[in-house]
Structure formats: C-alpha cells, structure tokens
C-alpha cells in the first residue's frame, strides 16, 4: 500500500513559534547551550527539519539545578501562599487553553500524531491536569497524632515539598508528560529541571513561555533540551537533585535507579508495558472490537498502556480477528496535521526500524499477518496498522514491548478466570489491562486477579487526573495523578513537642 504524504500548512501562531531561535529556559532566561551546540528537530512524516534546539548537557544541567536550588531555598517561591500557588497553576491551564490550537499543531508536527488526537486528548488532558493539581496546593495538610509516650505531648506531621526535582520525559505524549510531571511538583511547592525527549522538544519550550507568562518566579521551572545519555544522565546523577521522576523505557529506568543511588534521591518511574485486552464470549462485540482496535492503534501504538496482547475467547476469536483487521483497514494514514487522518507516522527512524523489525520477527516465528505487516508511505516513518494472529507466549512479539501499531492476538479456551488471569499475567510488565464482558462478576473478579496498576472494564487507555496511574512489576515505581502522586513530591515531617 502506498500512501501519498502531503504536509498541510501551519497556522500563523505555530509557524511563528518555529521561526524563532529556540532556546532553553534556565533561571527565568532563554539561553543557548553552554557549548553553543544545537540539534535538529524533524517532522517524522516528511523528514523535513522544522527547527533547531540547544543541545544542553552536564554544564547546562548544573546551571539549571543551581537555579532550581536557589528558587527553592530563597526568593519569592517558598513564601508564596498555597492559594497563590494554586492560582498560578490554574492560570497556566488557562493559558494552555487559550493556545490549544497552536499546541495541538506543534505536537502533531513534532511527534507525528493526528492533530485531532492532540486537540481532543493531549491538550485538554494537560489543561485538566494543571487544574486538578492546583487543588492540591491547599489540601496538603498533615495530621495530629495521638501518641502514647509518658508525659504530655503534642505530636503532628507536616507535609513539605521534597525539594529540587529532575523530570525526564518521553516523546509519545510530549506535552501531556510534561504536565503530568510539572503539575504535582508545582502544587507541592517543588522547583524543577525538566528534560524533554530529544525527538520532541517543541511543546515543552512553548510551555516554558506560558509558564513565565503565568508569573512563576525565575528558576521554579527550568527546561533543558538535550540527549538522554548526556543531559538526562547528568540530571539523574546530580548530587543536588532531591528526586527524579522518569517516564520511558524499562531499560533506561534501571539506569536511572543506579544513577540515583549516589545521593539516594527519591525515584518514581513509569516504564514499559505489554498490556492485555481480554475479550470474553459475552462481550458487546461491536464495542469490544472498536475498543481493542483503538487500544493498539491510538497514537500509532506508541502508548505505554497499548493493548498489545489481545486475548479472545475461542468461540469469538475469528470474529475478533476479522473485526480488528477491518478497523485497521479503515484507518486513514497520513500527515498528522491533516484533520482527516487517524494514523500518523512513528516518531523516529529508530522506532520505525524497531517496529518493522518486530513485524519481521513475528513473521519468522510463525505469526499470521492478517493485515498490514509493512512500512508504508512515499516518505516518512509510516507503518501500516498490523494484526498478527495465531501468536503465542513464546514469540518475541508477545514478550517484548513493540511500541507501534502491531497487535498480537491469541485465543483462550479456558473458562476458569484463574486460567485466563494467568495468561494475562504472563509478562514482566503490569501497567494496564482491559476486560471486555457484560458479566459484572467476571469483570470485577478479573480486576482483582490481574497484576497491573490500572484495570479498565469495557474500555482501554483510560486516564483521568484524579485516577492514580502506574505500574506493577517492571512497569515502574509509584503512581502519578490522583492524591497518590502528592506522596512523591512531599516529605512527611513528624514533630513532637513535650508539653
């Protein structure tokens, strides 16, 4: 299949951002990298260079951490009242809303994702998160503790910001990942050094502009663009960073843990997944087919929660395979900026090679390619939405995270929930699972039996600012969003006064 890829024109706002000489945000100022170097940013649909950004490294991370430390210890930020902090965070959400179209375009251009997905998902999701988290500023109360020690005591706890936070984010939801990281850290009163992914630095830099416009003091949020092995590694091992929050590959997550050992900084990790979607025989077939197809093809399959292992009961297996393949064939592939497109390119050459390599491996291990199975497009990093049937637990495509629009379907013929859960849990990951059934008992019993941080019933890739999100097993440490995330950005201090 050949798809002709044409790039629609950008709105004046997005185009004007790209004509600027892009710089990093350190201590409230826009600066070049100390080494003077920049690196190119590519449109993954056309391979055109759309911008250059500073190639920050250790020297810039040092400056950014110094600025964040200064802003944390002195200056206006630690003296701002919780209500004022809440107002600033809410205002940031408002500014994002005002520029929602521009952010959607930058996201689609930089990452490749359909602009309508960005406009209906990434951008409102980020706005909602800032607004939700602003509410925590005034709710971070401690407790009084009824201690039993001899004598009279007044014992209580305080919740204090953890300090200077390093945040390293990936390229699949560039703005939303920045929001997930920044919003709770700001609500707690921390200061931040954010390192966006090298593939997608644009929306974070634009976000930096509205952060300053909202009125955050200098040094509260610093944004350093650069590569993982240099800037990212320097941030993870920095002795004056109190906490590191990371989203990305499990492989790099393990490096972060090692790097954090130097000063025992706190670590939270959102890592890979190989999430099961389980369709029972009694499911609403139309909903289950559309939902499980979307679970893997949304964002070109570049979701940590992607429903990449699809299990269908043997009595409906053929119907599910055909139905998901039909859904795949209906997707319109093209440039992310085209409002009629459902599937854009993968983010980079590296991901394109990785995903096509996995498809090849599936074929050679005996999977049946029902649809897709190849790179497409006259240019760019496009891969056809791919359905692999007759897969089994021993195949590499079933064991490893592919991070592309490739679903591996297996059938199950056991009606014991214990046995079904065992298939679902046969992975080193545990980020999300979905259960498709009309039977309430089956749905909630499966929710208990599956070892994953998030379970969706008759849905997949669900998220909400109030809903804690994170993984069991090698999918990570800790939870983002909800009240749980505030634990990561605060220290509990216990105070005892002898009366």
Instruction: Give the active site residues.
Output: 270, 304
Q: Is residue 197 close enough to count as binding ligand NAI by CB under 6 A?
A: yes
60 binds ligand NAI (CB under 6 A): no
Question: Minimal distance in Å, beta carbon 173 to ligand NAI?
Answer: 8
Shortest Å distance, C-beta 471 to ligand NAI: 9
**In the range 209-228, which residues lie near ligand NAI by CB under 6 A?**
227-228
> Contact between 470 and ligand NAI (CB under 6 A)?
no
Examine residue 65 and tell whether it contacts ligand NAI (CB under 6 A): no
Per-residue mark of binding to ligand NAI, 307-346 (x: CB under 6 A): ----------------------------------------
Taking CA atoms, 112 is separated from 45, 71, 106, 471, 494, in Å, by 6, 36, 9, 26, 48
Q: Which of 89, 109, 123, 255 binds ligand NAI (CB under 6 A)?
A: 255
33 vs 252 by CB, closer to ligand NAI:
252
56 near ligand NAI, rule: CB under 6 A: no
Q: Which of 57, 102, 107, 270 binds ligand NAI (CB under 6 A)?
A: 270
User: Are 459 and 303 contacting, i.e. CB atoms less than 8 angstroms apart?
Assistant: no
Measured from the Cβ of residue 329, the count of other Cβ atoms closer than 10 Å reads 14
> For ligand NAI, which residue of 175, 211, 241, 304 counts as binding (CB under 6 A)?
304
Asked if 248 interacts with ligand NAI (CB under 6 A), we say yes
Taking the complex as a whole, how short is the minimal distance between the CB of residue 3 and ligand NAI, in angstroms? 23
DSSP letters of 114-134?
-HHHIIIIIHHHHHHHHHHHH
Q: Token digits for 18?
A: 């790209």
CA 328 from centroid of its chain's CA atoms: 24
Which phi and psi (to 5°) does residue 104 adopt?
A: -65, -40
Residues 404-463 that bind ligand NAI (CB under 6 A): none
Planar angle of CA 65, 69, 73, nearest 5 degrees: 175
* Min dist. Cβ of residue 328 to ligand NAI (A): 20
Q: Minimal distance in Å, beta carbon 98 to ligand NAI?
A: 27
Q: Distance of CA 13 to CAs 44, 119, 148, 480, Å?
A: 21, 15, 63, 32
- Phi then psi dihedrals of residue 413, to 5 deg: -125, 15
Contact 344, 300 (CB under 8 A): yes
Strands in 374-440 per DSSP E: 375-376, 382-383, 386-389, 406-412, 432-436
Q: Determine whether 416 is exposed, middle or buried from the number of CB atoms within 10 Å of its CB (0-12, 13-18, 19+).
A: exposed
Q: How far is the CB of 232 from ligand NAI (least distance, A)?
A: 2
- Per the DSSP assignment, residues forming a β-bridge with 383 are 375
Closer to ligand NAI by CB, 170 or 208: give it: 170
Q: Is residue 122 at the binding interface for ligand NAI, with CB under 6 A as the rule?
A: no
Size of the site for ligand NAI (CB under 6 A): 28
Q: How far apart are CA 452 and CA 473, in angstroms?
A: 8
Asked if residue 354 binds ligand NAI (CB under 6 A), the reply is yes
Nearer to ligand NAI among residue 226 and residue 323 (C-beta): 226
Nearest alpha carbon to residue 350 among 394, 386, 302, 318: 302
Q: Which of 125, 174, 201, 232 touches ligand NAI by CB under 6 A? A: 232
Residue 252 or 320 with smaller CB distance to ligand NAI:
252
Element (H, E) at 251: helix 250-260
Among 118, 187, 221, 233, binds ligand NAI (CB under 6 A): 233
Diameter of the chain measured on Cα atoms: 81
The interface with ligand NAI within residues 124-183 (CB under 6 A) comprises 168-172
Report the residue number, 225 or 342, with the smaller CB distance to ligand NAI: 225
The residues facing 406 across adjacent strands are 386
Nearer to ligand NAI, 134 or 474 (CB): 474
What is the Cα–Cα distance from 158 to 179, expressed in whole angstroms? Answer: 26
Which of 112, 121, 219, 272 touches ligand NAI by CB under 6 A? 272
Binding to ligand NAI by residue 33, rule CB under 6 A?
no
Question: What Cα–Cα distance (Å) separates residue 77 from each residue in 266, 375, 444?
Answer: 22, 50, 45
Q: Is 124 exposed, middle or buried (0-12, 13-18, 19+ CB in 10 A)?
A: middle
Instruction: Examine residue 247 and tell whether it contacts ligand NAI (CB under 6 A).
Output: yes
CB 183 within 8 A of CB 91: no
Closer by beta carbon to ligand NAI, 195 or else 206: 195
- Smallest distance from the beta carbon of 272 to ligand NAI, in angstroms? 5
Using CB under 6 A, pick the residue from 43, 55, 57, 198 that binds ligand NAI: 198
Residue 319: exposure state from Cβ atoms within 10 A (0-12, 13-18, ≥19): middle
Q: How far is the CB of 420 from ligand NAI (least distance, A)?
A: 25
* Residues between 375 and 404 that touch ligand NAI (CB under 6 A): 401, 403
Q: Which positions touch ligand NAI (CB under 6 A)? A: 168-172, 195, 197-198, 227-229, 232-233, 236, 247-249, 252, 255-256, 270-272, 304, 351, 354, 401, 403
């Amino acid at each position: 299949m050949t798809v002709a890829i044409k790039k629609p024109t950008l709105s004046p706002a997005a185009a004007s951002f790209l004509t600027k000489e892009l710089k990093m945000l350190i201590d409230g100022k826009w600066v070049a990298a100390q080494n003077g170097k920049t690196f190119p940013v590519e449109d993954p649909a056309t391979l055109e260079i759309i911008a250059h950004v500073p190639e920050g490294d250790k020297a810039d991370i040092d400056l950014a951490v110094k600025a964040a430390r200064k802003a944390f210890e002195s200056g206006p930020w630690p003296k701002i009242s919780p209500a004022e902090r809440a107002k600033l965070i809410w205002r940031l959400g408002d500014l994002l809303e005002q520029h929602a179209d521009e952010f959607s375009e930058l996201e689609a251009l930089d990452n490749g994702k359909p602009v309508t997905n960005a406009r209906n998902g990434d951008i409102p999701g980020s706005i909602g998160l800032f607004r939700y988290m602003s509410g925590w500023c005034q709710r971070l109360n401690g407790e009084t503790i009824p201690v039993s020690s001899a004598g009279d005591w007044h014992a209580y706890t305080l919740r204090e910001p953890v300090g200077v936070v390093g945040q390293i984010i990936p390229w699949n939801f560039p703005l939303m990942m920045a929001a997930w990281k920044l919003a709770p850290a700001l609500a707690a009163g921390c200061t931040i050094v954010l390192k966006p992914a090298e593939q997608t630095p644009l929306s974070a830099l634009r976000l930096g502009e509205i952060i300053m416009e909202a009125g955050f003091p200098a040094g509260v949020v610093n944004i350093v663009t650069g590569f993982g092995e240099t800037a990212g590694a320097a941030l993870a091992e920095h002795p004056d960073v109190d906490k590191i929050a990371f989203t990305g590959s499990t492989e790099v997550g393990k490096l972060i843990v090692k790097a954090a050992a130097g000063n025992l900084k706190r670590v939270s990790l959102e890592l890979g997944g190989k999430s099961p979607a389980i369709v029972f025989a009694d499911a609403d077939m139309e909903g289950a087919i559309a939902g499980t197809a979307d679970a893997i093809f949304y964002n070109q399959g570049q979701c940590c929660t992607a429903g990449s292992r699809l299990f269908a009961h043997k009595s409906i297996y053929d119907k599910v395979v055909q139905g998901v393949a039909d859904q795949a064939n209906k997707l319109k592939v093209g440039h992310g900026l085209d409002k009629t497109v459902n599937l854009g390119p993968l983010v980079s050459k590296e991901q394109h090679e990785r995903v096509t390599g996995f498809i090849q491996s599936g074929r050679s291990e005996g999977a049946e390619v029902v649809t897709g199975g190849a790179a497409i497009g006259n240019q760019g990093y496009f891969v056809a939405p791919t359905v692999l049937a007759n897969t089994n637990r021993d195949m590499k495509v079933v064991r490893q995270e592919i991070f592309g629009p490739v679903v591996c379907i297996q059938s199950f013929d056991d009606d014991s929930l214990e046995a079904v859960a065992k298939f679902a849990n046969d992975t080193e990951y545990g980020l999300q699972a979905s259960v498709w059934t009309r039977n309430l008992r089956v749905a909630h019993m499966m929710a208990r039996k599956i070892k994953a941080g998030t379970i969706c019933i008759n849905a997949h890739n669900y998220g909400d600012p109030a809903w804690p999100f994170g993984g069991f097993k090698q999918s990570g440490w800790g939870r983002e969003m909800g009240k749980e995330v505030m634990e990561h950005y605060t220290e509990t201090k216990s105070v005892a006064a002898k009366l």
